[in-house]
Every structure is written in C-alpha cells, then in structure tokens.
Structure 1
Amino acid sequence: MTTTLAVANQKGGVAKTTSVASIGAALAELGHRVLLVDLDPQACLTFSLGIDPEDLQVSVHHVLTQRAVAGEVVLQTPDGPDLMPATIELARAEADLLTRTGREHVITSMLQDLAESGADYDWVLLDCPPSLGVLTVAALTAADGVVVPLQCETLSHRGVGQLLDTVHDVRRFANRTLSVWGVLPTMYDGRTNHARTVLETISETYDLDVIEPPIPKTIKFAEAPAAGRSILATSRSSKGATAYRQVAANLVARAARNGAPAAAVPESGSH
C-alpha cells in the first residue's frame, strides 16, 4: 500500500519544503520507496534536490494540465527518493485548472496513472504551494493524511485555522478518508521560553497531535539546498538530520497502525 501525505501550510517560511526533502530522504534511508511531488511554482523542492527547473523540458505542470505521461516526468535524486519536479510554469496551472471538470481530482488521477504504469511507491509526499488554491485542494483530495509544519517562533493561529477549514471541506466533498496526522514543530529553539511555550500549547490550541520530535533551528538547513542535497546527506550527524530521522520513523509507525483514529478536524468557524 502507498501512503500519500500532503505537507501543507499556506504560510511561507515554516520549513515545509525542507521537511518534505528531509523526511523523504529519511524514509529512503529506511528502505522505503519514496516519491516527492513538487507542487510549488517556486520549485524550491526541485532546486533543493540539485535540479535546475530551467533545464527541464517537462514537469508536473505538463502532467496536470497537458496530459503528459506522469512516469516520463519522474526523476531520480541522489538522496534516494524519486521526484516529480516543478517549474515556474506551474503558476499557470491554477488558472488552467479552474475551468476543468473534476479539477480537484487531477493529482489523484496522476498518482493512479503512475501506479498503473508499474511505479510502486511506499510513500508519496506532496509539497503543497503556500496557498489554499486549486493545487492544494487537489493535493488534499489525493492524500491519506496531512502534515502541517509550524514554525515555533511565531504562531499564526488564523493561518492554521484556515487550513483546517479547507481540510474539513475536502473531507466533506471530495475525500472522506482524509485525516490530519498532526502538526510538525519546526525551527525550534529550546533555549527560549517562547519556543517551549509554543510547543506546549500547540496540541491544546489546535486539538491536533504534535509529531515528535520538534525540528531544531540550525544553520545546517540553509547549507543543504545550496549543495542540492537534503540535510541527511550534507550534515548526517546534525541535530536536524537526527530529528527528521526520528520523525520519519514515527510516521512509519503511524502508517503501520492500520485503522488508527484520525485527528478530528474542527468544524468551519470553530477556531
């Protein structure tokens, strides 16, 4: 079985792409077959894994809007996971898909086509754009679960509330089995009272699980994309790499608990 996770937060700067790359690499280290899908027109995931978007002839944009063959777009990365890359052209996809019937199912169909072509992945991680538009809704429609990276320095309650509203709507209209796996605290500095307080109140504030351990703040994360690798390759023994390996192991354990109860998604307007 394939487990598909949407990694989503419409607020930028929360280490969303770093988390996708790092968790993907950690899952690959554990022997899992992993596909990362870059759904952000800024193509940060693609770039951070050593691929220049400007060198690409085809990308996820062509699969979603021009019916390109999904398997022909997938690339291998040095860190182990496969990647379906993005380019700036993806910025047009929102407009292209707005008038399409069944637009919320385009990523579901893409992943089904990949599976039918013989691609066999244990995990698919969807790096959602920093918005709640068509692509994020399509990702949530295709996903089994949602992981919400959340910066420990500044809590944007309104932003997470809006995301949970969208998740609730997707569950109601397009994907009844979608569950929220939890909040992943990022950029955590345990030396500050504020960061510790934020971490302690996340679960209570959002009525969501906290995915452990929190990801520490470290300059090593800034160095990794420049090398075109994840932190697991550039700084294997760093606290950041160790934390992401533990997160990946915890996600594997969660996936193994078939039928585990999902985190409740608050009703619209309840936050």
Structure 2
Amino acid sequence: MNPPQDTGTHHDIGWTPIAEEAERAARVLHPEDHQLPRPSHRRIMTVANQKGGVGKTTTAVNLAAGLALHGLRTLVIDLDPQGNASTALNVDHRSGTPSVYEILLGEVSLVDAAQVSEQSPNLLCVPATIDLAGAEIELVSMASRESRLKEALSREALEELDVDYIFIDCPPSLGLLTVNAMVAAHEVLIPIQCEYYALEGLGQLLNNIDLVQKHLNRTLAVSTILLTMYDGRTKLADQVTQEVRNHFGDVVLKTVIPRSVKVSEAPGYGQTVLAYDPGSRGAMSYLDAAREMAERGAASRERQ
C-alpha cells in the first residue's frame, strides 16, 4: 500500500494510478523537462530532530537533490560530525579538507569550503570532517559562539554561490552546533518517523526552537514537517500520521516518505536515492516532497 499522496494530477480528466506513476517516473528520469519554480526568497532551512534515526540526513540530501535536479541551486551544510550527508553526496570529507569546522572557526569562507556534488551541477555541499567532533567544546569560549554559522552565511557569500535553498543537517542533539544552525536559518524542517515514540522528545525540540526564536533569532519558525518511514501495512503508521496532521496542520507536507530499502542502501554507495534508484518509490516520494516544498516556496510573498 502506497502512502497517501497529493501530486495535483488526480484532478485531471482521464487520471489513472498508472498515468500518475508514469508522470512521476518521467519527472525523475527527465528532470530537464520538469523545472521547479524558484522561491520568492532564498530559503535557509535547519533540518533538526534530536532523536536519532528519524531520517534527518536522508531527508536533507534527498530533498536537496530533488530540487537541484529540477533546476534549483541547492546547498547542503553538513553540521553533523558523523559526516553522513557528505558521504551521501560523495564529496571529499577527509580530515584537512576545507569544511564547516574551519568555517565556524573563521579560518575559511563558505565559498571556499563548498564543493559541487557529482550528482548535479546545481547541488553543493559544505562537508563535515572528523575535526568537527571537538567543535562544540572549542565554540564555548568563542565570542558570539551561537552565531558563527550565521556570520559565514552572509548575503554576499550566498549571492556568490547563487543558491535558492540551503539545508543545514544537524547532529542528533540540541547542543551548540544545532543552536548555530537555528540562529543561521529562517525555517526549521522536522522529519518525524511514523513509528512508536515518534513524538518523543519533540516537545523539548519545540521548546528549544522557541528559546532561540525569543533570544537569538526572531525570524525562526517551524515551516515544514515531513513524515518519514511510513509503513502502509501497519495501523500505527496511520495513527501517527493522523496525530501529527491534527496537531501541526498545514505545516505537515502532504507527501509521506515510505519505509524503503533503497533509501537506506543509497548512502553506502555515496549516492542519494534519486541517483541510486531513480525509479524507486523512495526516490519518487522525495521528489514529490521537493516539488511540494518548491511550490510552497514560490507561493510565499515574503521577501527576505
């Protein structure tokens, strides 16, 4: 059973499930024919959830890849010392590579650390190296320690990179790295898995977002929630989906990401699922989510 989708095609005359699948497959395989609209303003999004294993990195890299494949310039900032986003985008993140660590210390610029992923010329990544593991301790004694990343994401640097979307992939904690991400961003994207304890710790995350909003970044808001790891065979998945939608309303994307072996396998090959298996349900679902985000972004009239 497929997760509930709303791709906007079912209002057309002559719609059938097979026709919808064919259209979705065409969008993956021939992205040049299906360009997505540019946002009304540059969107800087922190992908956060201190609970591990909810699909944070998977969501960040696959949404970024989906947007990039369809004509939008996208930057992923890997702020997790594990470097999983860097691995999935197959960019160099050996120790000594210009990375987000040197950016936080003020030693290199954003432009110097950004690498182009081989998966799309529109897809950039600032990698995380193992050096980032000690950064939280080093940041404690630094001036303006919560806004080091924000300073690096200057309008001039982002103009030079010419990016429409920036995704900051956070570590599974609420420490200084995650605070830096929230201070630098305008929006928070929260992936929530459709499983037991899905909402565990969410209150704490929302409290932290509220604190950052009050004291450090008044423009910050939870703009997007994406339901991940949906298993249509279980009643629980539907219950969690309904509970999240009832509580958060329109902030929750209509698209739901199914549980998928292909999505899990892709990073092991240094790829997003869109590159690894573009015809898979996981790839198509992330593409649907990217399209939904792009359409929402283009509809926004607010100019940053």
Length-normalised TM-score, structure 2: 0.81
The change in CA–CA distance for 1:153 and 1:117 in structure 2 (over 3 A counts) is closer
CA contact (8 A) 2:91 2:115 kept: no
Which of these residues, 199, 212, 216, is aligned with residue 258 of structure 2?
A: 216
> In structure 2, do the counterparts of structure 1 residues 95 and 208 end up closer, same or farther at CA, with 3 Å as the change threshold?
farther
For the pair 1:21 / 2:49, whether they are aligned, the reply is no
Unaligned runs of 5+ in 2: 1-40
Asked if the contact 1:155/1:198 (under 8 Å) is kept, the reply is: no
Corresponding residue to 1:79 among 100, 119, 134 = 119
Q: Which structure 1 residue ranges, 5 or more long, are not aligned? A: 261-271
- Which residue identity is paired with 2:221? S
Q: After the TM superposition, which residues 129-208 of structure 1 pair with which residues of structure 2 at under 5 Å, given as runs?
A: 129-205=171-247
What SS does the aligned partner of 2:168 have?
strand
Using the size of structure 1 for normalisation, the TM-score is 0.90
Code of the residue aligned with 1:9 in structure 2: it is N
Conserved in 1, the CA contact under 8 Å of 2:95 and 2:131? no
The offset of 1:56, in angstroms, is 4.7
Structure index of larger Rg: 2
- How far, CA to CA, are the matches of 1:106 and 1:212 in structure 2? 34
CA distance in 2, matches of 1:220, 1:236: 10
Which stretch has the larger CA shift, 52-61 or 134-143? 52-61
Letter paired with 1:57:
T
Runs of 4+ in 1 over 3 A off after TM superposition: 205-208
| RMSD, aligned α-carbons | 1.8
After TM superposition, the structure 1 stretch with the greater mean CA deviation from structure 2, 152-161 or 213-222, is 152-161
Report SS of the residue matched to 1:14.
coil
Asked whether the 8 Å contact 2:89–2:117 carries over to 1, the reply is yes
- How far apart are the structure 1 equivalents of 2:158 and 2:295? 27
SS of 2:197's partner is coil
- How much does 1:66 deviate? 4.4
The CA deviation string for residues 152-204 of structure 1, in whole angstroms up to 9 with x for no partner, is 11234341111100110111011111111132111100111011111011133
Does the CA contact (< 8 Å) of 1:149 and 1:183 recur in 2? yes
- Per the TM alignment, residue 113 of structure 1 is displaced from its structure 2 partner at its CA by 6.7
CA 1:189–1:114 in 2, change beyond 3 Å: closer, same or farther? Answer: farther
Query: How many residues matched?
Result: 260
Pick the aligned partner of 1:4 from 44, 62, 70. Answer: 44
**Distance in structure 1 (CA, Å) of the matches to 2:216 and 2:143:** 13
Relative distance call for 1:113 and 1:182 in structure 2 (3 A) is: closer
